[in-house]
Amino acid sequence: MKTDVLVIGGGPGGHVAAIKAVEYGASAIVVEKYKLGGTCLHQGCIPTKTLLHTTDVYYELQHAAAIGLKVDNASVDIEALQRRKNEIINTITEGVNAIVSSKGVEVVYGTAELVSEKQASVVLNNGETILIDFDKLILATGSIPSSIPITGANLPNVITSDDALSLSQVPEALVVIGGGVIGVEFGQLMSRLGAKVSIIEACDNILPHMDAELSSQLAAELVEEGIDIYTSARVAQIEQSSGQLNVGFDIAGELKSIKAEKVLMAVGRKPLVHGFGLEHTRVQIENGAIAVNRYMQTNVPHIYAIGDCTGGYMLAHVAFKHAMIAAKNITGDILEPFNDLAVPACVYTSPEFATVGLTESAASKRFSHIKIGKADLAVNAKTMIVQQRGTVKFVVDTTTNRVLGLHILGPRASDMIHEAALALNLNATIDDIVDTIHGHPTIAEGILEAAEDVFGNAIYKM
Ligand code: FAD
């Protein structure tokens, strides 16, 4: 086979890059060893959010009396829950397959290995091997779960997020190692399904890359729901004793241990850079990821890399954006850079936590005059109606009044964050937000209130 652009990996990065390359006039082949959609569709965004939706509804049913409903005997049907998750994945997979072929992209199912900088061999899923010659290459191989080098990390009941997604039984007790996005989402999910959950995090806060004040508020919510959170704590070992796991960890110099049926290793993911013949090219790896410039180009001019395999954000929408940029640059003039000024990041806990731009602490290191505007969502009418709480927090550069960041803990935060993503992209000022009429009653009025608060003009604040 021969193609203008070969794409290795059919996740949100790879299949979008191939579609766009064809739109720009090139021929494109995607090689995928499993199914189109990648981690996002099969082990990531979609299955986790499907399960979280069910557990959120279940939680609300258990607390229905607070909103004037009498609901007796709500219970979980794990089989039905898994069936629904699989149906959603299958429906989306069929949709992606149909779109990709309708756009003229050729999909080859098999495992690709680069033989040279212009040729790949593919072991097809039927065992046959084929060769593909290409002019240009986009690497979109994704990432795999990381682990930590401690005794017991390989015990059978120490699981990854991939395993946790298909559990057929809720463990009585679950220890989650790592309080990042995957750790807290699974922590709340399992807790709401009935597991006794303990999260152990090495940093001094869960979600350490997000706004510290709002992370602490979310931690307090999770603790109130019955999750134990240990921060500044380092897991030292996991032992198997009489059918249970014993997780030993160090917290402030004291050794503690927790018993659990399962341990979820949620210490992040690492770029997949091995196993596909990268060593047969001159492509450089830096800090465990494929090194690229702002144009998504590696040090070998006709080879690009996108998404998780390049490290950094490791988010589906970033892979998607990388894909559009790489496809444009690889098929034409190399003009379009990746701009990371406004990358939203969302945590789908309840309440949701979403962030875009700089946190207060990052902004204070880069700008000499910043101001913070905050709104307490507990006094926002719509938040009260939906029986939740939270905070909206703006970070503003007072020299220019430009919005530097927005951080939201509250219902629908993952939808609302895009107002600030647009503001950042357009270099908008906080006055632009204040001048924008926000509907009533909406949770988004909290954004207006936080914007007003930057200069002390919040209306519903004593
Ligand atoms: P991937 O989606 O990993 O796709 C890579 C593809 O390459 C895979 O299909 C793989 O089979 C294929 N491949 C690899 N090597 C070869 C080879 N040699 N030959 C052929 N095929 C190969 N991100 C969000 O934005 N929002 C979320 O809510 C979110 N939730 C997540 C929850 C979990 C539990 C996890 C694990 C991740 C989550 N992510 C989320 C991250 C998101 O899934 C990834 O950032 C995204 O999938 C990266 O896309 P990609 O195209 O770079 O790689």
pLDDT digits (tens, 9 = 90+) for 289-303: 999 999 999 999 999
Claim to verify: residue 72 and residue 104 sit in the same structural domain: yes
* 232 is an annotated ligand-binding site residue: no
Boundary-marking domain end, from 267, 285, 308: 267
Boundary-marking domain end, from 267, 288, 315: 267
Q: Which atom of ligand 1 lies at the shortest distance from residue 165's CA? A: 34
Claim to verify: residue 105 and residue 191 sit in the same structural domain: no
Per the annotation, the verdict on 440 as an active-site residue is yes
Residue 242 lies in a domain: yes
Q: How confident is the model at residue 31 (pLDDT cuts 50, 70, 90)?
A: very high
Choose which residue among 7, 45, 113, 346 to substitute to test ligand 1 binding: the one with the highest number of ligand atoms within 8 A of its C-beta: 45
Residue 356 lies in a domain: yes
Q: What percent of the chain has pLDDT over 90?
A: 97
Q: What is the ipTM of this complex?
A: 0.99
Residue 462 has a pLDDT of 83
Coil, strand or helix at 159: strand
Residue 261 in this model has a pLDDT that exceeds 90: yes
* 179 is an annotated ligand-binding site residue: yes
Residue 457 DSSP symbol: -
Residue 327 in this model has a pLDDT that exceeds 90: yes
Out of 63, 209, 369, 440, pick the active-site residue: 440
Q: Which atom of ligand 1 lies at the shortest distance from residue 306's CA? A: 52
Q: Which amino acid is located at 167 in the chain?
A: L
C-alpha pair distances (Å), 83 with each of 52, 88, 95, 166, 250: 14, 9, 18, 10, 40
Residue 243 has a pLDDT of 86
Claim to verify: residue 241 and residue 118 sit in the same structural domain: no
Claim to verify: residue 276 and residue 139 sit in the same structural domain: yes
Q: Which atom of ligand 1 lies at the shortest distance from residue 110's CA? A: 20
Q: How confident is the model at residue 317 (pLDDT cuts 50, 70, 90)?
A: very high
Kindly state the tokens that stand for 313. 């954000």
Residue 461 lies in a domain: no
Residue 428 lies in a domain: yes
Domain count, the chain: 3
Claim to verify: residue 361 and residue 236 sit in the same structural domain: no
> What range does the domain containing 172 cover?
158-267
Q: Which amino acid is located at 14 in the chain?
A: G
Q: List ligand 1's pocket residues with C-beta within 6 A.
A: 8-14, 31-34, 38-40, 43-45, 48, 111-112, 140-143, 161, 182, 272, 276, 307-308, 314-317, 319
Q: What angle do CA 383, 389, 393 make, to 5 degrees?
A: 95
* 14 is an annotated ligand-binding site residue: no
Atom 35 (ligand 1) nearest CA? 44
Are 51 and 87 spatial neighbours (Cβ–Cβ below 8 Å)? no
Atom 33 (ligand 1) nearest CA? 44
Residue 334 has a pLDDT of 86
Claim to verify: residue 140 and residue 223 sit in the same structural domain: no
pLDDT tens digit sequence for 397-408: 999 999 999 999
Residue 66 lies in a domain: yes
Residue 336 lies in a domain: no
Kindly state the tokens that stand for 328. 């444009």
Claim to verify: residue 26 and residue 122 sit in the same structural domain: yes
Claim to verify: residue 277 and residue 263 sit in the same structural domain: no
Residue 300 lies in a domain: yes
Residue 125 has a pLDDT of 87
Q: What is the CATH number of the domain that holds 61?
A: 3.50.50.60
pLDDT tens digit sequence for 266-289: 999 999 999 999 999 999 999 999
pLDDT tens digit sequence for 48-62: 999 999 999 999 999
* Beta-bridge partners for 123: 111, 129
* 311 is an annotated ligand-binding site residue: no
Boundary-marking domain end, from 331, 354, 370: 331
Residue 384 in this model has a pLDDT that exceeds 90: yes
Atom 37 (ligand 1) nearest CA? 44
Atom 8 (ligand 1) nearest CA? 38
Claim to verify: residue 302 and residue 358 sit in the same structural domain: no
What is d(CA 308, CA 288) in angstroms, rounded to the nearest whole number?
11
Claim to verify: residue 366 and residue 425 sit in the same structural domain: yes
Claim to verify: residue 276 and residue 189 sit in the same structural domain: no
Q: Which amino acid is located at 461 in the chain?
A: K
Q: What is the CATH number of the domain that holds 352?
A: 3.30.390.30
What does the pLDDT average to over 95-117?
98
Claim to verify: residue 260 and residue 365 sit in the same structural domain: no
Atom 30 (ligand 1) nearest CA? 45
